[in-house]
Amino acid sequence: PEVMKILFVSSVLPYPLHSGGQVRIYNLLKRLSKKHEITLFSFIRSEDERIHLKNLSFCKKVITIFRGHAWQPIYVFRSFCSTYPFLYTTYNNRFMKDAIEKELADDSYDLVHIEPGYVWPSIPSLDIPLVVSEHNIEHEIYASYVAGFPMAAIRPFLSWDVRKMALWERNIWNAAVRVTAVSDVDKKYMSDVVDSKKISLVPNGVDLPSFPFVPKKKSIAETMTFLFVGNFSWIQNRNALEYLLKDIWPAVRLKHPKALLRIVGKHIPSALLSSIDTAHTTLLEFVDSIQEELHKADIMLAPIRIGGGTKYKILEAQASGLAVITTTLGAQGMGLVNGKQILIADAIPDVLEAVEILLNEKTKTLLVTAARRHIEEHYSWDTIARSLDQTWQEAYGQKR
C-alpha cells in the first residue's frame, strides 16, 4: 500500500541529536511519519531520556525500554556464555522482546524496521517483512580496534567476538526481506554475503536548512582556526583525536605557530586530555550550536583511520561552506573527488600540503562551492527519506 503501519525499533532514542545515529533516525522518522503511521520502540540508557519524548510527537507512539550502558558486568558475563557477540548481548532484552511481541499481537503492522541490525536479539519471531538498516559494517570497525588493542592477552577473546559479530551480521541480513547500507562500499561488502537484489542504498544526510552555506570571506593566511568534531564514545573518534593531537597538530603548529584548534565532543578520554596544549587548543564538550562552530572555523580536520559508513561531521561541514581535510577512509563512500570537493591527506606531509592549498582563497572558494553542490544533489534528508520509503514499499511487496 502507499501508506503503511511501521513498527520501528531503534538502538537509541533519536533525540537529542548528539550522535550520528540519533541524527539519522530522527530525520528519517520526521519525514516518513508524514506519510506512514510509525510506532517507535527505542532503547534508552537513562530514565532521564524520557523528557525528550515530546520531541518525537510525529510518531504515533513511542515505547522506551531501559538498557543502560554497555559496560556492565552482567553484559560482559552473558557474552562469554552466548553465541551473540558482546554488542549484541547488550541488546538481548526480554522486556523489549515481550513489548514488541504484545504490540504485534494487539495491532496489525505492515512491516518491522530495525536500526541498526544489532538490536536483532530483542526481535521476536515475525510473520511480517523485516527491514534491517545498517550504519556500518560493525565487525570491521571492531576488527580494526582489536588489531591495535594494547593488552595482547585479551586480543584472542576480542577476535572471537569479532568473528561472532560477522556471523550474526550474515544471519540477520539473510533473515531480512530488505537490508539498507549507507555507502556503496558497505553495499558492496553486503552483496558478497547476501543477494544484492535485497540491498538498498540509504545514505546519511544533512538537514540543509539547518546548515546554511556560509563560506569564509576573510584571508586565513595569518591565524587559522582548525576544527575537530566527534563523540568520543566511539572508537573511531578517539583514535582520530589521538592521531590528531600526537602527530598532526604538532606538525601544523610548527609550520603555522598562530594556528588554533577547537575540539568539540563529549566523553573525551582522560588519557587524551594531557595531550592538549591549552594555549592553542580549546576543548568544548557541549556547544549550543554546532553550526556556529562550523562557521567560526577555517578548516575541518577529520583524520579518520577506523570506521565505515559516511561521516556526519564531514557532510555538515561541507554543507556549511567549511573546507575539509580528511583521510581516504574518511572520504570513502561519499563520491567525493580529491581536490575538487575535499582534500585527502593520509600522512603528515599530505596534511601540511593540503593546508597550503587552502591558503589560496580562489582555490578554497571553488572547493567549498563544489562540496555544497554535491551535498545538495546527493545528501538531502528529503531525498534519502524517499529512498527508504521505496525500500519499505519493496519489502511490503514481498509479504508472505
Please, are residues 310 and 333 in contact by the beta-carbon 8 Å criterion?
yes
Residues in CB range of 26: below 8 A, 6 or more apart: 14, 15, 17, 56
Burial of 254 (0-12, 13-18, 19+ CB in 10 A): exposed
Q: What is the pLDDT of residue 163?
A: 96
What would the DSSP string read from start to end of 248-312?
Answer: IHHHHHHH-TT-EEEEE-S---HHHHTT--TTTEEEES--S-HHHHHHH-SEEEE---S--S--H
The three cell numbers locating residue 183: 555507502
Instruction: Write the DSSP symbol of residue 198.
Output: G
Residue 191 · residue 170 · CB < 8 Å: no
Buried b (16+ CB within 10 A) or exposed e, 147-157: eeeeeeeeeee
Give the pLDDT of residue 96: 98
Distance CA 263, CA 268 (A): 10
- Long-range (24+ apart) CB contacts under 8 A made by 363-366 are 364/216, 364/323, 365/215
Predicted confidence at residue 219, as pLDDT, reads: 64
pLDDT per residue as tens digits for the range 297-347: 999 999 999 876 568 899 999 999 999 999 999 998 889 999 999 999 999
User: What is the predicted pLDDT for the residue at 309?
Assistant: 57
Task: Print pLDDT tens along the chain (400 aa).
Answer: 689 999 999 999 999 988 889 999 999 999 999 999 999 999 999 999 999 999 999 999 999 999 998 888 888 888 888 999 999 999 999 999 999 999 999 999 999 999 999 999 999 999 999 999 999 999 998 898 888 788 888 888 899 999 999 999 999 999 999 999 999 999 999 999 999 999 999 999 999 999 999 987 666 666 899 999 988 887 888 889 999 999 999 999 999 999 999 999 988 888 888 878 777 899 998 888 899 999 999 999 999 998 765 688 999 999 999 999 999 999 988 899 999 999 999 999 999 999 999 999 999 999 999 999 999 999 999 999 999 999 999 999 886 5
H or E segment to which residue 378 belongs: helix 361-378
So what's the pLDDT on residue 308?
A: 63
**Cα-only R_g, the chain:** 22
C-alpha cell at 204: 546519511
- Reduced to 3 states (helix: H, G, I; strand: E, B; else coil), residue 225 is strand
Q: Can you read off the three cell numbers belonging to residue 325?
A: 581535510
The dihedral built from the CA positions of residue 5, 11, 16 and 18, taken in this order, carries a sign that is: negative
Q: What is the pLDDT of residue 148?
A: 79
Letter for the amino acid at 51? I
- Grid cell in block for residue 147: 588489531
pLDDT of residue 293: 94
**Number of C-beta neighbours around residue 69 at 10 A:** 10
> What distance, in Å, lies between the first and last C-alpha atoms of the chain?
15
